[in-house]
């Protein structure tokens, strides 16, 4: 009902439409219309009212509200159920909670802010109110748990492609889960899974994107390492347009994977990669070593050419950093 009322107001944006007309078209009482208008105002919509003229939509809030997302989405799986929060500890934690309660595949959790946002290896993630896109997607794929790490690569390709499409900013993917622009982080991806030996119960893909954060807003400890799409594009970015583009790109890739496997995703990942061909230092796992990142294999693992041969590095085991060249 509320979405139908919004469609009426949008169709005559900037003009008044009488409560009687809305009531007649939707076959509900004018009192019910008034109650829905009050709820919409609480969500941030600026709706003027006049005793003789009715209601007029003056401004739509800069919020990632479920109705706003739903009106723009053309997906068949992703975003059909949306859990929205103004503030939450972590969208991944909330997504895991509702996944365990049998939330359907494609459910998304989106928040205006996270107060305990997480990245890989339990690192914090700066998630200020209404300045970024902080969301998680629940998938229930039929493939084996061994395939799950490649969902991070799939998400990175979807996000990178959507950013280019919506903002014109050409980002690169740093293995395994970051998206950077000229060496500064814009996106982090955290994939978590619940599985048994041969079956996945659910996968949660959490994505955090710095969209409209000003450089002066970043905490001092990450200011030199992070940037936002607004900074690099030189303009404010529509979070709603970007989120819906990501969901559409991700669904397209996911349905392709379900039909044909990950081969095409891995190929697209290679074309977006800023890690391959670079000197890198591997930190963690069984020890530190350096080499050249030459490829990813069919499992999505990074292959490093060292002086003693090719080392295979699995996502989640290590951190990858540019190797510092010693000057003499």
Query: From the CB of residue 14, how many other CB atoms can be counted at a distance below 10 Å?
Result: 8
114 marked among binding-site residues: yes
Question: Is 92 labelled a binding residue?
Answer: yes
191 is in an annotated binding site: no
119 annotated ligand-binding residue? yes
Q: Are 21 and 28 in contact (CB under 8 A)?
A: no
Round to whole Å and give the CA distance between 241 and 66. 13
User: Are the CB atoms for 308 and 316 separated by under 8 Å?
Assistant: no
46 C-beta neighbours (distance < 10 Å), count: 12
DSSP, collapsed to helix, strand or coil, labels residue 145 as helix
Is 58 assigned to a binding site? no
Strand-pair partners of 206: 136, 190
Tokens linked to 235:
């303009």
Whether the CB-CB separation of 315 and 177 falls below 8 Å is answered with yes
End-to-end CA distance of the chain: 71
Residues 6+ apart with CB under 8 A from 135: 64, 91, 108, 109, 110, 111, 206, 207, 243
**Is the distance from CB of 194 to CB of 96 less than 8 angstroms?**
yes
Ligand-binding site membership of 25 (annotated): no
Contact by Cβ (8 Å): 89, 115? yes
Asked if residue 176 has a cis previous peptide bond (ω within 30° of 0), the answer is yes
Collapsed DSSP state (helix, strand, coil) of residue 206: strand
Question: Are 125 and 119 spatial neighbours (Cβ–Cβ below 8 Å)?
Answer: yes
Task: Return binding residues.
Answer: 90-92, 114, 118-120, 185
Where is the binding site for biotin, in residues? 90-92, 114, 118-120, 185
């Amino acid at each position: 009902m509320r979405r139908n009322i919004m469609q009426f107001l949008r169709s005559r944006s900037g003009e008044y439409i009488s409560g009687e007309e809305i009531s007649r078209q939707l076959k509900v009482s004018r009192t019910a219309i008034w109650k829905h208008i009050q709820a919409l105002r609480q969500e941030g919509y600026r709706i003027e009212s006049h005793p003789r003229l009715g209601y007029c939509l003056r401004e739509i809030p800069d919020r990632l509200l479920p109705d706003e997302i739903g009106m723009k989405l053309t997906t068949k799986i992703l975003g059909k159920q949306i859990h929205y929060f103004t503030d939450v500890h972590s969208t991944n934690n909330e997504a895991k909670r509702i996944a365990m309660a049998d939330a359907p595949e494609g459910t998304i959790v989106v928040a205006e802010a996270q107060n305990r946002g997480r990245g890989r290896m339990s690192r914090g993630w700066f998630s200020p109110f209404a300045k970024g896109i902080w969301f998680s997607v629940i998938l229930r794929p039929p493939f084996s748990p061994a395939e799950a790490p490649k969902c991070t690569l799939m998400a990175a390709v979807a996000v990178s492609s959507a950013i280019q499409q919506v903002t014109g900013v050409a980002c690169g993917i740093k293995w395994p889960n970051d998206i950077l622009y000229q060496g500064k982080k814009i996106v982090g991806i955290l994939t978590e899974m619940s599985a048994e030996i041969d079956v996945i119960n659910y996968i949660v893909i959490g994505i955090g994107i710095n969209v409209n954060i000003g450089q002066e807003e970043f905490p001092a400890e990450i200011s030199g390492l992070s940037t936002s799409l607004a900074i690099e594009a030189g303009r404010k970015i529509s979070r709603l347009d970007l989120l819906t583009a990501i969901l559409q790109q991700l669904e397209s890739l996911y349905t392709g994977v379900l039909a044909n496997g990950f081969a095409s995703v891995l190929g697209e990942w290679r074309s977006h990669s800023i890690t391959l061909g670079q000197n890198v230092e591997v930190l963690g796992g069984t020890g530190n070593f350096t080499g050249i990142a030459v490829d990813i294999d069919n499992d999505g693992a990074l292959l490093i050419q060292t002086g003693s041969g090719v080392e295979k590095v699995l996502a989640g085991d290590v951190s990858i950093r540019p190797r510092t060249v010693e000057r003499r």
